[in-house]
Chain A
Amino acid sequence: MKWIDFVQPQTLDEAIKILGENGANARMLAGGTDLLVLLRVNPDRVNNPKLVVDAKAIPELNELSYSPGSGLTLGAAVPCYKVYQNKEIAAAYPGLIDSAALIGGIQIQGRASIGGNLCNSTPSADTIPDLIAHSVTCKIAGPNGTREVAVEDFCTGPSQNVLEPNELLVSLHFPAPPDNFGARYIRFIPRNEMDIAVAGAGVSVTLDNGTITSARVALASVAPTPLFVEEAGAALVGKPANEESVQEAANIARDAAKPISDMRGTMEYRTHLCEVLTRRALTTAITRAQGGVVDAH
């Protein structure tokens, strides 16, 4: 690794000041499971930073608080294991645990954060479709105060996002799950774990007496950014929670996918996977919304 400097601000204000002074030469560090690898092998992809700014001592970036009334606030630097080890959060958001317990192996989950996965902004990021399904809002801080961005608007291209060089992601806010809400993230990989999604689907549904009142569908690895397929969710609203409705939404998701062919899969294969994964994810999200239990793995 080429030379870097390291700084560990203790407050959000201090971090913003450091980013303001160093601009594009500084890069935030949370778990480091992406950043440290890129600093070694492809520093240009993270803008060749001269200063690494550790997020792990800033209280706001390490917040993990949940209440049934106000929902979940997840600090940008909270490692995945803290999310899935929290029984209350795991019970309220089983769909979030699907992706938090799926990233890398146990060693990676001990460091990697969901906020970091979002800021890394790869199209294949496992947590991002899940965040979109949960209608997450991103809290961003910079020299002019804080602003909020809907998570589906956060990524702007491969490894690109809305953060300015003098801004940082503070936390993610998950609305309180409404009654009869179910979410699910699944992906396809050639082995059982430790791999990058060939395609993935994150979905959520809310039911009222067997009728779908709202739904969201998002896809991984089939577009330059994680893909929010708003029309697939919209098509489900007012429909009965049955196989036919799910199939229609899955077809819409398949038609919305814009994948490329690469070493992980061809365009045709990924397009096919979008239909299968969306159908399976919606079916199991409905099971959860009806009170059924679906294991994360």
Chain B
Amino acid sequence: MPTKTHVQTRINGEDVEFLSEPRQSLLECLRDVIGLTGSKEGCNDGNCGACTVNLDGRIVDSCLVLGVEAQGSEILTIEGVATPAGLHPIQTAFLENAALQCGICTPGFIVASKALLEAEPNPSEGRIRLWLAGNLCRCTGYDKIVRAVMDAAGKMS
């Protein structure tokens, strides 16, 4: 078998082709092959959510997807959240609510929160906490993150 597979995707609205070894995760491909280093590696086993990306409309841990599995898919990473016009309202809300300290978990939280608010524009606090249970933060204690998402929901609706 060939050592690498040619994978065609759309990432953040642009056609992106890359070569992936079958053993490489989508996270490794994003960071080490394509150079999109916004998605972070925390645990590399699906617990922490720092590598969260949106794959064909669903948030997933990109450490638990093989690069070759991404063939034909549409991917949104943290690099695609802001626009040339400025930060996304969720990013602004994270800044205004001090919802980050070290920042390693932040890309995952923002990609996950964006998917929630797109599906459910007005979630309860409990719903936000349940939705974000797959994202770990060791700095903030979560309250500020939950408040930021509620703030963003209010401003976006």
- Which residue of the partner chain, among A3, A36, A104, A107, contacts B66 with CB atoms under 8 Å? A36
User: A2 an interface residue at 8 Å Cβ cutoff?
Assistant: yes
**Which of B22, B44, B58, B131 lies in contact with A5, CB distance below 8 A?**
B22
Q: Does B1 contact A (CB under 8 A)?
A: yes
6 A-B pairs whose Cβ atoms sit less than 8 Å apart in the complex: A1-B23, A6-B5, A32-B64, A107-B59, A194-B47, A194-B133
Residue among A36, A37, A105, A111 having the largest count of chain B Cβ atoms under 10 Å: A105
Q: Kindly list chain B residues whose C-beta atoms are within 8 Å of the C-beta of A39.
A: 23
Q: In chain B, what residue has the closest Cβ to A56?
A: B69
Known contacts A6-B68, A33-B46, A107-B64; 13 further A-B pairs (Cβ under 8 A):
A5-B1, A6-B5, A29-B66, A36-B63, A37-B45, A37-B64, A39-B23, A105-B135, A106-B59, A107-B49, A107-B60, A107-B112, A111-B60
B41 to chain A, nearest CB (A): 12
Distance in angstroms between the alpha carbons of A39 and B60 in the assembled complex: 19
> Nearest 5 CB-CB pairs, A to B?
A105-B134, A6-B22, A110-B58, A193-B133, A1-B23
Give min CB distance, B60 to chain A, whole Å: 5
Determine the distance from Cα of A231 to Cα of B123 in the docked complex, in whole angstroms. 43
B52 at the interface (CB under 8 A from A): yes
A54 CB within 8 Å of chain B: yes
Q: Given contacts A105-B133, A107-B49, A297-B130, are A33 and B64 in contact (CB under 8 A)?
A: yes
A144 interface residue, CB < 8 Å from B? no
- Report how far A5 CA is from B68 CA in the complex, Å: 11
Given the complex of chains A and B, what is the CA–CA distance between A3 and B23 in angstroms?
6
- Is B81 an interface position by the 8 A CB rule? no
Query: How many angstroms from the CA of A31 to the CA of B58 in the assembled complex?
Result: 13
Contact among B5, B21, B59 for A110, CB-based, below 8 A: B59
Is A263 an interface residue when CB atoms closer than 8 A count as contact? no
Question: What are the residues of chain B within 8 A of A105 when measuring CB–CB?
Answer: 49, 132-135
Total A residues in contact with B, Cβ cutoff 8 Å: 32
Distance from A245 Cβ to chain B, minimum over Cβ atoms (Å): 34
Contact A107 B61 (CB under 8 A): yes
> Is A107 a contact partner of B23 (Cβ separation < 8 A)?
no
B75 to chain A, nearest CB (A): 13
Is B77 engaged at the interface, CB distance under 8 Å to the other chain? Answer: no
B69 and A32: CB pair below 8 A? yes
Interface of B is mostly: mixed
Chain A nearest CB from B141 CB (Å) reads: 14
Q: Which of B6-34 contact A (CB under 8 A)?
A: 21-23, 25
CB distance from A61 to the nearest CB of B (A): 15
Contacting residues, chain B, for A111 (C-beta < 8 A): 60-61, 64-65
Residue pair B45, A32 in contact (C-beta under 8 Å): no
Q: Which residue of A lies closest to B22 (CB)?
A: A6
- Measured between beta carbons, the chain B residues less than 8 angstroms from A41 are 45
Distance (Å) between the CB of A13 and the closest chain B CB? 20
Given A32-B66, A33-B64, decide whether A107 and B46 contact each other with a Cβ distance below 8 A: yes
User: Is A162 an interface residue, CB under 8 A from the partner?
Assistant: no
Q: Is the CB of A106 within 8 A of B131?
A: yes
Q: Does B55 reach chain A (CB closer than 8 Å)?
A: yes
Could you tell me the distance in whole angstroms from the C-beta of B146 to the nearest C-beta in chain A? 14
Chain A residues near B115: list those with CB within 8 A: 106
**Option from B22, B46, B68, B69 in Cβ contact (under 8 Å) with A104:** B46
Chain B CB within 8 A of A81 CB:
yes
Query: Does A209 interact with chain B (Cβ within 8 Å)?
Result: no
Chain A residue contacts of B22, Cβ below 8 A: 3-6, 52
Residues of B within 8 A of A52 (CB): 22, 66
Report if A107-B134 is in contact (Cβ < 8 Å); known contacts: A4-B23, A33-B64. yes
The docked-state distance in angstroms from the alpha carbon of A111 to that of B49 is 14
A 1-58 contacts with B by CB, 8 A: 1-6, 8, 29, 31-33, 36-37, 39-41, 52, 54, 56
> Once the chains bind, are A108 and B46 in contact (CB under 8 Å)?
yes
Alpha-carbon gap, A107 to B45, bound state (A): 12
